Amino acid sequence: MEEKKSGRLYVWMPLLSALILILGMTLGFKLRDTLRYKRDIQAIIQRNDRLEQIIDLIDERYVDTININHLYRDAVTGILSHLDPHTIYIPAEELEGVNEDLEGSFFGIGVEFYIIRDTIQVVSVVENGPAQKAGIAVGDKFIQVEDTVVAGTGITADGIISLLRGRKHTDVRIQIKDALKGQYRDVIVKRDVIPLYSIDVSLMLDTTTGYIRLSRFSATTTEEFMKAMKGLKAAGMRQLILDLRQNPGGFLEPAVTIADQFLDGDKLIVYTEGRRIPRESYNAGEQGMFEDGRLIVLVDETSASASEIVAGAVQDWDRGIVAGRRTFGKGLVQEQYNLDDGSALRLTIAKYFTPSGRSIQRSFSEGR
């Protein structure tokens, strides 16, 4: 009986030893990764402590009074200066305005203006917008907004914008000088949503040629573009001029959707890839609205990013003619990370490549 037990134990011992060895190796690797992570965290803490010590010393000992918030901002700017120019820090007070261009709307009164001889003069009024409803017309001059005199005080465009914009359905009192009568009067304008349109012009140049001028790629671009295309096709469009001059880009998705309208099948439109970001391909997928007609895409030196995605896809697939001047050369993809203090970091995480594998990113080796 004892011999049988010994035999069983002899058989199980190698298997038990192997299991213990595997368990030990697994725990060892996990412990190594944990310790490495702790070392990395410790290094980060030490670097942060170093920055805090320097700023604290300046705050306590420097000969003059210093704005500490400015020091932190300059420190961040200094760090980012070693990266590409499109990786930027956006202070909290500027973030709303930066996001408005991409989101396609803001809350305001609906006017465009120039500052002429230190006076704000209205040059355009949004149709059916708050300002028009309140009786403000082209040529009117702004004298005072609420309690702030804005005429003859050297106010900047950003200054007047900050006074006119605000929360939805709030009132703003403006004293104006009437363009026709020359009289001063007060108007109360109720702020509301003011759209930032992506398409500046959509018209027929002749009986068969449509023209669309696209100024940005925002959250509303796809809807605007589809509406414009339907209208032009209904008017008999058989060839199209797409004007992307002075278009600095914006969101990736509407650029892919617009390129898809010109390409048949499942052709590759663009792909992105980064050191930490795996390749992601964007292909045509739906039946496009203009896959057969003659197409010309106009570009210039300020056509960038999403504009270059559309132009690159058209060019690589020989879908149409790309005409104009050499584009800006921004082949980088940014992702925005909102920070705890209301600011944001727009960080470059990948490059994008045209269907043939070209990166159109401009080299910064010779300076910016």
pLDDT at 36: 47
What does the pLDDT look like over 311-329, one tens digit per residue?
Answer: 999 999 999 999 999 999 9
Contact 243, 298 (CB under 8 A): yes
Residues labelled catalytic:
305, 316, 330
For the entire predicted model, the pTM comes to 0.70
Among residues 112, 293, 104, 316, the alpha carbon closest in space to that of 214 is found at 104
Contact 309, 256 (CB under 8 A): yes
pLDDT tens digit sequence for 283-297: 999 899 999 999 999
Instruction: Give the DSSP letter of residue 357.
Output: S
Instruction: Please give the Cα distance from 173 to 127 (Å, whole number).
Output: 20
pLDDT band for position 37 (50/70/90)? very low
Average pLDDT over residues 202-222: 95
**For the chain, what is the mean pLDDT?**
85
- Joined together, the tokens standing for residue 62 give 């420097």
Q: Which two tokens stand for residue 229?
A: 């295309």
Joined together, the tokens standing for residue 204 give 């027929």
